[in-house]
Amino acid sequence: MTTRAADVVIVGSGPTGSTYARIIRRDWPEARILMVEAGPKTTPEIGKHLDNLPDADRTEAQLRAQGPKRGVTYAPITREEWEARKAGKHDASLQRRPGLFFANTDTPDETAFAGFAAASVGGMGVQWTSGCPHPSKSERVPFIDEAEMEAALQLADELLGSNKNPFPGCKGSEEMRRRLGEVFNPGRPDDRKVQPMPLAYTVTEEGVITHGTDHILGEMVNEPEEMFRILPETACRRVLHENGTATGVELVSMTSGESWQVRAGTVVVAADSLHGPQLLYGSGIRPEALGRTINDHYLINRFFITDIEGPLTSMSWIPRVDNEDFPFSVTIHGNDPAKFPFPEQVEGTLVGMGLFVAADPRPENRIIFDDETLDWKGLPSFSIHAPINEVDEKRIEMGKAVAEKIATTLGRPLDGFATVRIPTGNSLHYQGTMRMGEADDGTSVCDRHSRVWGFENLHVAGNGIIPTVTATNPTPFIVALASMGARKIAEARRTVTEAAA
């Protein structure tokens, strides 16, 4: 059956697209919702997280999620690359990530902004690391009421299934947080003190269940197709629009090449921070700020040895605070040296650290579209121009110093391993490309309800709409913002009939 009309068409099946579907269904039970996904369904259950699969099945699912690189097994890390990473130099293997593909046309080298993406039902929501921290006050949207934002974040926790302390009673991790608290807690508000990292986990006697987009969609996955349908391996080539109204979408089957149009009352573009702007651009919707202010959290890694007895099951988190003294979000967790790609001599309890550094959003850092060269979906290909500036460099060096301080607070740095900045793009937190604004003044793409300026029924979603300087994992933040946009769509109840299609 070819769907020709829907009240709401959602392009993208990741966490924000799934949130739009779930909240619209909650507030508008009669809505007919069509979700479009360029990649295949890779798991037996819709939106199941790949970490819940047996190893062989997970590998197969990752290979199928690689878009234009579908089925390609990337070359494993070499000893030379591993030694370069240990020395704090460029490790090219970090630009070959199973389950993802390099979406931009830039040569993957030391200077590149790596624009990774996934293409499968569930998107990054079936591969994410499940961290659910809340943004600090300054990271939140300043023109959204504080109480409204807090309520939306609580809803995001419910949708994601956030567990504030998934491993209570982990004595080693509690001791780690006690020591870190002595150094970093003074002067911090209670909600920004050292704490367990909230994770989208259900812990059972058999092990951990990591939540994917199945947790967001809930019972919607069992609805009849005339009410909710996901079209896998179907790309959206164009958002159709006329006189400031989105009228539908033009779709193409990635298997047969057949194309058709679907009329829609509302269109939601939830196709990630790179492909969302790409679709708008390819549709002739080109606000001045589209694709600009792209930024990603710079990621600093450090391994160290602690005298704290394991197991260190619980992940610890040092949150970002609202001043320039600590523009970082830090995760710390026990590590298994057996998972290193090559044998290393490790004596003691190994700990890994990921320190996320806030980047400086600048309009000149942007996606550059190429109308002459099309990508695997038939849309304009793109490159990314986002060099590091002096503000970034200063924060990165501060971050490295903080990483060393944390390592010496808890133990000693692992011999033979430097404090290293991972290649730009590896945090997968690309932001700013469809940024939200308070006024239609050319510096933003959408309003506080995520509606594209000049449209009443075209919404955008994902990390790209974040307009602030952040260091915190953005997933709960963008799910919260998506829930606000979804409520607006449900209030409007714009329908389209099959006859009109």
Where exactly are the structural domains of the chain?
5-166+210-296+360-386+428-492
Looking at residue 498, what is its pLDDT?
63
**The pair of three-digit structure tokens given for residue 21, joined into one six-digit string:** 């579907």
Average pLDDT over residues 332-341: 94
Rounded to a whole number of angstroms, the CA Rg of the chain reads: 22
Confidence bin at 2 (pLDDT 50/70/90)? confident
For residue 133, pLDDT beyond 80? yes
Tell me the pLDDT band of 497, cut-offs 50, 70 and 90: confident
The confidence band for 428, taking pLDDT boundaries of 50, 70 and 90, is very high
What are the CA-CA distances from residue 8 to residues 12, 28, 34, 236 (Å)?
13, 11, 6, 14
Question: Predicted confidence band at 1 (pLDDT cuts at 50, 70, 90)?
Answer: low
Q: How confident is the model at residue 501 (pLDDT cuts 50, 70, 90)?
A: very low
Contact (CB, 8 A) for 49 and 212? yes
* β-bridge mates for residue 34, sequence order: 9, 229
Q: How sure is the predictor about 496, in pLDDT bands with cuts at 50, 70 and 90?
A: confident
Confidence of residue 499 (pLDDT cuts 50, 70, 90): very low
Average pLDDT of span 304-323:
93
Residue 323 pLDDT grade (very low, low, confident, very high; cuts 50, 70, 90): confident
What residues pair up with 210 in beta bridges, in sequence order?
A: 201
Widest distance between CA atoms in the chain: 71
Which residues are known to be catalytic? 429
pLDDT on residue 3: 75
Query: Which sign does the torsion angle of CA 118, 123, 124, 126 carry?
Result: negative
Which segments of 387-496 does DSSP mark as H helices, in order?
390-410, 475-492
> CA-CA distance, 293 to 411, in Å (whole number)?
39
The H or E element that residue 351 is part of is strand 349-357
Mean pLDDT over all residues of the chain?
A: 96
pLDDT in tens, 202-253: 999 999 999 999 999 999 999 999 999 999 999 999 999 999 999 999 999 9
User: Distance between CA 173 and CA 331 in Å, rounded?
Assistant: 12
pLDDT higher than threshold 60 for residue 158: yes
Question: Whole-structure pTM over 0.85, yes or no?
Answer: yes
Residue 223 burial by CB count (10 A; 0-12/13-18/19+): exposed, middle or buried? middle
Confidence of residue 311 (pLDDT cuts 50, 70, 90): confident
Confidence of residue 299 (pLDDT cuts 50, 70, 90): very high
Task: Please give the average per-residue pLDDT across 19-46, as a whole number.
Answer: 97
Spatial distance between the Cα atoms of 496 and 248, rounded to a whole number of angstroms: 10
**pLDDT tens digits, one per residue of 56-112:** 999 999 999 999 999 999 999 999 999 999 999 999 999 999 999 999 999 988 889
- Length of the chain equals 501
Residue 336: its pLDDT value, please? Answer: 92
Q: Which residues contact 373 (CB under 8 A, 6 or more apart)?
A: 105, 380, 381
Is residue 98 classed as helix, strand or coil in its secondary structure?
coil
Helices (H) and strands (E) counted in the chain, each on its own, are 9, 20
Task: Read off the amino acid at residue 290.
Answer: L
Q: Would you identify the CATH topology of the domain 5-166+210-296+360-386+428-492? A: FAD/NAD(P)-binding domain (3.50.50)
